A and B are shown apart, each in its own frame.
Chain A
Amino acid sequence: MKHYNDMEMMIVAAAKELENGVTIAVGTGAPCAAAMLAQKTSAPDLIIFFEAGGIHPTLVEMPISVGDSRTFYKASRAGSMGDVMDACARGLVDYTFLGGAQIDMYGNLNSTMIGKDYTKPSVRFPGSGGANDFASLCWRTMVMTIQDKRRFVRKMDFITSPGWLSGHDSRSNSGLPDQTGPHRIITNMAIMDFEPVSRRMRVISLHPGYSVDEVQDNCGFELLRSDSISVTPEPTDHELKVLREDVDPEKYLIGR
């Protein structure tokens, strides 16, 4: 019997990807929880940017909006969207954490619409927000999402934010900044990276209790498999305590 749930595992695994002292642009929800957890455990000097202008806040509670006052509480600066996005464009932001309704094998993301006809969407989602900007301009994009066939799709209805586009050199040929692109995909079951030549998604680590076949069964395209797939470390008692008591005491995310 595991003493943690899937969402807790995903947030803890994502937090561990952040080295101390790096800069990161995040939105609300699970990505913000991961950044908060990292700041309170392994990466106390993590510098968090919010797209509406909050720079380097002390996160006392989880923001509801990327522009609410918690995003610049005891911050180094309450700036503007231009400040934050310009910093990304100049190469000052190492990571971004994103989510999306759909993701494909190259890490492209859809947060705009579902349906065959763009002018008559069957479901309209919010759109890019800052996601396309972050995925274009931050050095490394990381995605947190639930492992599910409806999310991991062969064919996207809409590419909102760029991953490796159509693989190989297509991203660098597009004009997007050099050496940027998707880095890690963290789900409730596994961690994936991208094979360096084809730029296709590849399983590199499995969370305890999950098999590579289970991950594949919950994915709409063929996943590559690393030669040496590791097992993701279980959340420590300390990480779980901080996550449950300090990061998400209301259980907005980890209660699901």
Chain B
Amino acid sequence: MMITKQGSGGLFTDPDPDKARLFFRNDKRNARMMKSKIMPLSRAMDWFVRDGDYLAIGGFGSNRTPIAACHEIVRQKRKNLGFLGHTSTHDMQILSAGEVYDRIDISYGVGLEARGLSRCSRSYMESGRVTVTEWTNYSLTARLKAASMGVPFLPARQMLGTDTFERSAAKQATCPFTGMELTLIPALFPDVSVIHVHEADCYGNARFNGIAVSDIELAHASKRLVITAERIVPHCEITRNPDATLIPFYLVDAVCEVPYGAYPGGMPYEYFSDEENLNAWLLAEKTAEGFAEFIQREIFDCKDHNEYIGIHGGIQRMIELRNKELLIEKEVIV
């Protein structure tokens, strides 16, 4: 294959599948064992997210995203992480507030979609302290897909002719079959990923409802995988309907039960995003001092996600968000 162009962006992870194979063979033995992987979130983040690691967060920004895990990573003051900004919105905002990453593969970040831009994420990205490589959403899915297939790259047809390609770490080559120009998208094996699901058993067999985004590819591509779950269910519940298992146990290193773990983001069929909470972040970011106090209160002063839910209205608020998610018009009986 003849390489015709090359993006100038940095490649933060090694796309060599032979190295990944050795890791999966030797360092993932525990994951392949049918033994309980349940542990508190704080321990899972302490054991599996190390300074300097390349981190990926599942879900889609503010949807089925392991927000509790993002808080914990900031609480534990991780440093020098690589970060996969694959439609990262509130997750990126939290990680930017903690300045836990210093390099990013980005397809979408900084913004919170229709809600507006995060000043905190923006100013961190504009500070010159973050090394950035550009991608597109499909390209990052393809990077994870390549890794999950154990191949060093996948060919694709997006990014051609643009600065997005120029600032990526992709290459361009002529197709040996058709003669057309193709983008070659390198495999991405994250050091560690966190995915939030509806249900998992103690071994890590996990299932979720609603859109998958790129979490199936991510689960297979990741060297270490932490599952946070709304509920732990008995193993017999999984075996009763194995069709529903989307992430099998042998990919999973730790299982943490974190009810409302995506809050203030939304969880399909469980609770809608808390727009007041998300808006409070956007407002707090307007001044540096105010934002520092805000982060202290919202993250550092909370021991865990349970306390965080507590300062945001507790169960009563969760019921309101559940009604909103399910479009339940409550009849008020006086």
Write out, one digit per residue, whether chain B residues 115-153 have a CB within 8 A of any chain A CB (1) or not (0): 101000010011010001011111101000100000000
Interchain CB contact under 8 A, A28 and B180: no
Interchain CB contact under 8 A, A80 and B113: no
Which residue on A lies nearest to B65, using beta carbons?
A67
Interchain CB contact under 8 A, A158 and B122: no
**What is the bound-complex CA distance between A73 and B209, given in angstroms?**
12
Question: Is A159 in the interface zone, CB < 8 Å from B?
Answer: yes
Question: Is A121 in the interface zone, CB < 8 Å from B?
Answer: yes
**What is the bound-complex CA distance between A171 and B160, given in angstroms?**
9
Interchain CB contact under 8 A, B108 and A81: no
Interchain CB contact under 8 A, B110 and A170: no
Interchain CB contact under 8 A, A162 and B161: yes
B263-287 interface with A by 8 A CB criterion: 266, 268-269, 272-273, 275
Interchain CB contact under 8 A, B217 and A129: no
B151-188 interface with A by 8 A CB criterion: 156-164, 167, 172, 180-182
Tell me whether A112 and B164 are in contact in the complex, defined as CB-CB below 8 angstroms, given that A65-B114, A128-B135 are known contacts.
yes
B232-283 interface with A by 8 A CB criterion: 266, 268-269, 272-273, 275
Write out, one digit per residue, whether chain B residues 202-213 have a CB within 8 A of any chain A CB (1) or not (0): 000000011111
Tell me whether A160 and B128 are in contact in the complex, defined as CB-CB below 8 angstroms, given that A80-B213, A126-B108 are known contacts.
no
Q: Which of A82, A123, A131 contacts B217 (CB 8 A)?
A: A82
Interchain CB contact under 8 A, B161 and A129: no
Interchain CB contact under 8 A, B181 and A175: yes
Residues of B within 8 A of A165 (CB): 161
Question: Is A230 in the interface zone, CB < 8 Å from B?
Answer: no
Q: Which of A68, A126, A127, A137 contacts B157 (CB 8 A)?
A: A137
Interchain CB contact under 8 A, A68 and B126: no
**What is the bound-complex CA distance between A108 and B161, given in angstroms?**
10
Question: Is A179 in the interface zone, CB < 8 Å from B?
Answer: no
Interchain CB contact under 8 A, B138 and A85: yes
Interchain CB contact under 8 A, A64 and B163: no
Which residue on A lies nearest to B145, using beta carbons?
A82
Q: Which of B138, B157, B209 contacts A176 (CB 8 A)?
A: B157
Count class of interface residues, chain A: 35 or more
Write out, one digit per residue, whether chain A residues 43-79 have a CB within 8 A of any chain B CB (1) or not (0): 0000000011110000010111111110111000011
Interchain CB contact under 8 A, A133 and B139: yes
| Number of cross-chain contacts by CB at 8 Å | 189
Q: Which of B107, B113, B172, B181 contacts A128 (CB 8 A)?
A: B107
Interchain CB contact under 8 A, B160 and A176: yes
Write out, one digit per residue, whether chain B residues 192-230 have a CB within 8 A of any chain A CB (1) or not (0): 000000000000000001111111110000000000000
Residues of B within 8 A of A126 (CB): 108-111, 117
**What is the bound-complex CA distance between A88 and B158, given in angstroms?**
10
Residues of A within 8 A of B272 (CB): 68-69
Q: Which of A60, A64, A81, A159 contacts B275 (CB 8 A)?
A: A64
Question: Is B98 in the interface zone, CB < 8 Å from A?
Answer: no
Tell me whether A67 and B157 are in contact in the complex, defined as CB-CB below 8 angstroms, given that A127-B110, A175-B181 are known contacts.
no
Interchain CB contact under 8 A, A128 and B161: no
Residues of B within 8 A of A229 (CB): none
Interchain CB contact under 8 A, A122 and B60: no
**What is the bound-complex CA distance between A161 and B167, given in angstroms?**
13
Tell me whether A80 and B164 are in contact in the complex, defined as CB-CB below 8 angstroms, given that A85-B141, A128-B107 are known contacts.
no
Q: Which of B128, B211, B273 contacts A78 (CB 8 A)?
A: B211
State how many angstroms separate the Cβ of A179 from the closest Cβ of chain B. 13
**What is the bound-complex CA distance between A124 and B123, given in angstroms?**
8
**What is the bound-complex CA distance between A69 and B156, given in angstroms?**
29
State how many angstroms separate the Cβ of B245 from the closest Cβ of chain A. 16
Question: Is A118 in the interface zone, CB < 8 Å from B?
Answer: yes
Residues of B within 8 A of A121 (CB): 125-126
Question: Is A174 in the interface zone, CB < 8 Å from B?
Answer: yes
State how many angstroms separate the Cβ of B142 from the closest Cβ of chain A. 8
Question: Is A188 in the interface zone, CB < 8 Å from B?
Answer: no
Question: Is A210 in the interface zone, CB < 8 Å from B?
Answer: no
Write out, one digit per residue, whether chain A residues 141-158 have a CB within 8 A of any chain B CB (1) or not (0): 000000000000000001
Q: Which of A28, A53, A79 contacts B113 (CB 8 A)?
A: A28
Q: Which of A73, A79, A125, A136 contacts B212 (CB 8 A)?
A: A79
Which residue on A lies nearest to B122, using beta carbons?
A124
Question: Is A89 in the interface zone, CB < 8 Å from B?
Answer: yes
Which residue on B lies nearest to A60, using beta carbons?
B327
State how many angstroms separate the Cβ of A255 from the closest Cβ of chain B. 14
Output the residue of B125, B138, B145 with the most chain A CB within 10 A: B138
Q: Which of A54, A63, A120, A131 contacts B128 (CB 8 A)?
A: A120
Tell me whether A159 and B60 are in contact in the complex, defined as CB-CB below 8 angstroms, given that A79-B211, A120-B128, A133-B137 are known contacts.
no
Give A contacts to B, CB under 8 Å. 27-29, 51-54, 60, 62-69, 71-73, 78-82, 85, 88-89, 108, 112, 118-133, 136-137, 158-162, 165, 170-171, 174-177, 252
Add 7 more A-B contacts to A69-B272, A73-B327, A132-B164 (CB < 8 A). A65-B61, A65-B273, A66-B60, A85-B138, A129-B87, A161-B164, A174-B160
What are 18 A-B interface contacts by the 8 Å CB criterion? A51-B137, A52-B60, A62-B114, A65-B63, A68-B266, A72-B211, A80-B213, A82-B145, A85-B141, A112-B163, A118-B167, A125-B110, A127-B110, A129-B136, A131-B136, A136-B158, A160-B162, A175-B160
